[in-house]
Structures are given as structure tokens and as C-alpha cells.
Chains A and B, each alone.
Chain A
Amino acid sequence: MIQVLAFYLFATLAILSAVLVIMSRNPVHSVLWLILAFFNAAGLMVLAGAEFIAMLLVIVYVGAVAVLFLFVVMMLDIDFAELRAGFVRNFPLGMLIALVLLAELVFGIGAWRAGSIDLAPAGATEAAPMAASNIAAIGQVLYGKYLFLFESAGIILLVAMVGAIVLTHRDRKDTRPQNISKQNRRRPQDATVNMRPEIGEGVQL
């Protein structure tokens, strides 16, 4: 009973906040509704028994991606009238994307109903039965059956990250960054001199 109630609560809120993402006039409000949609999706995952995925959804999307998103949207100075002006021009493109998404959803559900396929190479170790805890089961699958795919995905992400840093990094000459080890190595005798100059002579530094 409680589960059914919770499901309808999460599902309704998810759809409602997803609609409000595109309906609200203020982009910051849009991002906040998006965060609520992520949150409700995480709630649905918990109900489906995938608590590990739910927590990852909250940590990665709500905790990191959406924060940066909010950051950027808040910093931008957006002219709302200008945004709305392009609506008619962009409408066909939007419809096309919506159609593609709908078709993919239909294909996906159709393929799911037709039964699963086996992507693993022959001779790979079998996944642990789902009776084990969620994290253990996912670990068995990722680091057992799909080890090669998982590791190569990790390498690709690393390369992408290094690439992004290399592309955006510029070596500025006009900044004076603090060198902490150099500061710590500095001793009083390096910086001060004890002198007794003659009257009227001054000091050469």
C-alpha cells in the first residue's frame, strides 16, 4: 500500500517537474525543477530495488552536474524576450528531436518485450544472482563479466578529461602564483641584513 502510494507520488512529481522545466519562464527555476525531477527519479529507483543506482543518481547528477549547471545559469545574464523570439524558427527542429526520442522509446520498450540479448564474450564469468546485495551484484557484473568494456570506458573518459584540460588551458605569463614550498624555505637571514651605515652614507640594497 505504502509502496503504491510512494510510486504514484514520485512518478507524478517527476512528470510534473519535468513539464515545469520547460514551462517556467526563469531559467534558474527550470534548473531547480530539473533537480526535483532527478530526485524523484532516484526515488523511483529506490522503489525498484536499485538503491545503488539511486544514490549514484543523486550524487552525480544532483550533487555535481546540476550544481555546475545552476552555477552557469545563475552567472549568465539572459534576456528572456530574445529567447522566446526564436520559438517559431526552432519549432520544426524541436519536433524532429521529439519524434526521434519517441521512436527510440517505442523501439526500446519493444526490444525489452522481445527478450534480452547477450553482449558478453564467450567464456566470461557469470554474474552473481540478484539475491546478493545491490552493490555486490553490480560489482560482480562490472568487474567480472564486463571488465574489458568497463575499463575501456574508464580510459576513454580519462582521455576526454585530459583533452578538455589541454584544450582550455592557457599559460598566462602575467600572473604571479604563490609558491608555497619556496615561501616556506625562506629564512630571516635571506630577507634581512643587519647593517650599521656611517652617518650620511646610506645603504646599498
Chain B
Amino acid sequence: MTQTFVNWGMTYDWAWFVATIAGILLIALPLMLAVAMIIYADRKIWAAMALRRGPNVVGPFGLLQSFADGLKVFLQETIIPSAANKGLFLIAPIITFTVALMAWAVIPFNSGAVLADINVGLLYVLAISSLGVYGVVIAGWASNSKYPFFSAMRAAAQMISYEVSIGFILICVVLWAGSFNLNAIVEAQRGAGLGIVNGFWFNLLLFPMWVMFLISSMAETARAPFDLTEAESELVAGYQTEYSSMSFALYWLGEYANVLLMCALNATLFWGGWLPPLEIEFLYWIPGFVWLCLKILFFFFIFSWVKATVPRYRYDQLMRLGWKVFLPLSLLFVVLVSGWLMFTRYG
């Protein structure tokens, strides 16, 4: 995109600057729209599994429900508890929302269509996703209230626990792809399965890693069945208890943007990203962006499905799954994958 602006007569520095801003808007604005629609989809899927109708009043099929909710929330009064630490109380939802958008910078939407094509793309994703916990912890502390604080403690422990195993899972992918760059990882999946299937999932060593990554990404985004941070039967609404109006909406949007990001990562790391599922010529007629969106929607359906059907974990079970099951398993698979690659590719 920079080249277009250079052709319009800008110097390279300014062209790069304007192109970057344009790229950010091109990702962030459709993402916000997607989040609004995905909240609607989530409610519809959830309703269908519970044999209900779900939102069906605002607009055709209730399609405008999220926008009506947004408007309602926007018009509400922002209440700041008098005992709260005001500055931090207001900054916390902004941190959550910003961090949820930041990681999208390195997701490739098509061959070369990525905002920041950096060498350390996957490390950047890890770094940004490890920041997400601050919004929750600061909110819990700044609210100066009992249940938000409990929730913040839970969130901090939960996110750190699952980040460790996610790190090892990502190392397996990086070893197989030979790069940290997400575009290069997608390219490495071209025909990775018997020369016809695009994606690392078609691989005996990496398929279990994908299953673990899917479960870990549910825990990382605190979705059901791991939504202990906002377990309504114990903690009211968790860290969001004291929030109202737009500051609450920012958490809401940030949470779903994070879920979409995790779906995009599932698609990009294990299911071939913007590549079509099979390495067949005519499947390339459909643009890569559409394939990526379809994959994201597929994973989002799995997220909703799990949310609608699986009961919530107990806290000690959550910790056990993270530290005693996923961590040793992912460590074992790092050894297996590197051993296999050493034996076959580099040996």
C-alpha cells in the first residue's frame, strides 16, 4: 500500500505513515462490525442449542440486536464507585480493548496482506496476549470491591497457567514451519498433508497440539467452560461487576475481539490460514480472505457450541488441567516434534 501513496507524490516516510494508519483502520473498523455480528451469532447459536429463538425483534431476524444494545449502553450513565481508584478504573477497560485489537496487526489475511510483516510475528502475538491480563487485574483492584478482586486473582493465575502450555504448543508449530513469521507459517502449510491437504492439522504429531491449542485458547480468553473469572453463581459478574455503560461495553467488545483473534490463530497456525483447505487449483478462485473468514467462523461455532453444552470447570480442576495435563503433554510433544524433525529433515 505504501507504494500507492508514493506514486501519489508523497515522500516514502509519509507514505509509509499514511499507509499504516489506513491499514489499521482497514483492520479495526471491519473487526468492530464483525464483533457486533459475532455477538449476535453467539446468541443465536446458543439459543438454538437451548431450543429457544434468540434475538429476533430488532431488524430482520434480529440482525440489528447488537447495534441496539450498543446504542442502549452508549446512552447509559457511567457510574464510578466512590471508593474506586478513578484513573485506573477508567484505564482498565481501555487496556483490554486496545490489547484485543493490537494482536491483529500480524494476522495475514491473504498472501502478503498483513499490516506488520515482522520476523517475530508469533512472539508478538504471545507478548500481546500476555498483556490482556492487566485489564482484568487492574479492574479488579481499582474497583475496590470484593468480588471483582477475587475475579482478578483468578484471572491472573488462569491466564499465566495456560500461556505456558500455549507457548510450548506454538514452539511445535514454529519448529515444523521453521519460522516465527505468520505468513511463512501459512506458506509452510501448503500441501503439508500428503501434498493435497493444506494445514498442519493433517499430521499425527501436530493434530493433538491443535486440540490442546483449541482448549487452551478457550481458557486464555476465559470463555465457557473456563469462565471462572465471571462465574455468576460465585462472583456476581466478576471483574465487570462495578462497570456500567461504555466502560462495560469496551470489555464486551474486547472479549469478543479476543475470541475472534484466537479463532484466527487456530485457523492460521493449524488449518492453513488464508489457504484453501485442499491444494486444488479451482479452490484458489475464491480469495484467501474469504477462506480465512470461513475458518474463523467455523472455530467460532466450536467456541459457541462448547459454551452452550459444557458445564463450568471448578477452579482446582482448571489448574490441574493446565499444569498437570497440558504442560507435560505439550513438553513431551516439543521433544517428539523436534526429535522427528531432527531425524527426517535435518539429520
Chain A residue with the shortest CB-CB distance to B132: A63
| B77: interface (CB < 8 Å) | no
Q: Do B316 and A28 touch across chains, with their CB atoms under 8 A apart?
A: no
Please give, as numbers and ranges, the residues of chain A lying within 8 Å of B180 by CB-CB distance: 135
Q: Do A59 and B126 touch across chains, with their CB atoms under 8 A apart?
A: yes
Chain A residue with the shortest CB-CB distance to B91: A32
Q: How far is the CA of A8 from the CA of B16 in the complex (A)?
A: 20
Q: Do A63 and B127 touch across chains, with their CB atoms under 8 A apart?
A: yes
Query: 1/0 per residue A168-187: CB within 8 Å of B?
Result: 00000000001010000000
| B123: interface (CB < 8 Å) | yes
Q: Do B120 and A59 touch across chains, with their CB atoms under 8 A apart?
A: no
Q: Do A59 and B123 touch across chains, with their CB atoms under 8 A apart?
A: yes
| A67: interface (CB < 8 Å) | yes
CB distance from B164 to the nearest CB of A (A): 9
Please give, as numbers and ranges, the residues of chain B lying within 8 Å of A51 by CB-CB distance: 118-120
Q: How far is the CA of A139 from the CA of B160 in the complex (A)?
A: 26
| A7: interface (CB < 8 Å) | no
Size category, A interface: 20 to 34
Please give, as numbers and ranges, the residues of chain B lying within 8 Å of A63 by CB-CB distance: 126-127, 130-131, 133, 163
Q: How far is the CA of A135 from the CA of B316 in the complex (A)?
A: 37
| B156: interface (CB < 8 Å) | yes
Stretch at the interface among B24-32, B134-142, B332-340: B134-142
Q: Do A58 and B127 touch across chains, with their CB atoms under 8 A apart?
A: yes
Q: How far is the CA of A55 from the CA of B167 in the complex (A)?
A: 13
| A12: interface (CB < 8 Å) | no
Q: How far is the CA of A52 from the CA of B124 in the complex (A)?
A: 9
Please give, as numbers and ranges, the residues of chain A lying within 8 Å of B331 by CB-CB distance: none
Q: Do A55 and B123 touch across chains, with their CB atoms under 8 A apart?
A: yes
CB distance from A112 to the nearest CB of B (A): 26
Q: A32-B88, A74-B141, A134-B120 are in contact. Are A64 and B17 (CB under 8 A)?
A: no
Please give, as numbers and ranges, the residues of chain B lying within 8 Å of A68 by CB-CB distance: 160
Partner of B138, one of A32, A56, A62, A180: A32
Q: How far is the CA of A160 from the CA of B88 in the complex (A)?
A: 36
Within B111-151, which residues are at the interface with A (CB < 8 Å)? 118-120, 123-124, 126-127, 130-131, 133-134, 137-138, 141, 149
Partner of A59, one of B118, B130, B153: B130
Q: Do B130 and A58 touch across chains, with their CB atoms under 8 A apart?
A: yes
Give 15 new A-B contacts, CB below 8 A, not counting A51-B118, A55-B127, A70-B156. Answer: A2-B16, A2-B17, A28-B141, A32-B138, A55-B123, A55-B126, A56-B123, A59-B123, A63-B126, A64-B163, A67-B133, A67-B160, A70-B134, A75-B153, A133-B119
Interchain residue pairs with CB less than 8 A apart (5): A55-B127, A63-B127, A67-B134, A67-B160, A70-B134
**Interface residues in chain A, defined as those with a beta carbon under 8 Å from any beta carbon in chain B:** 1-2, 28-29, 32, 35, 51-52, 55-56, 58-59, 62-64, 67-68, 70-71, 74-75, 133-135, 178, 180
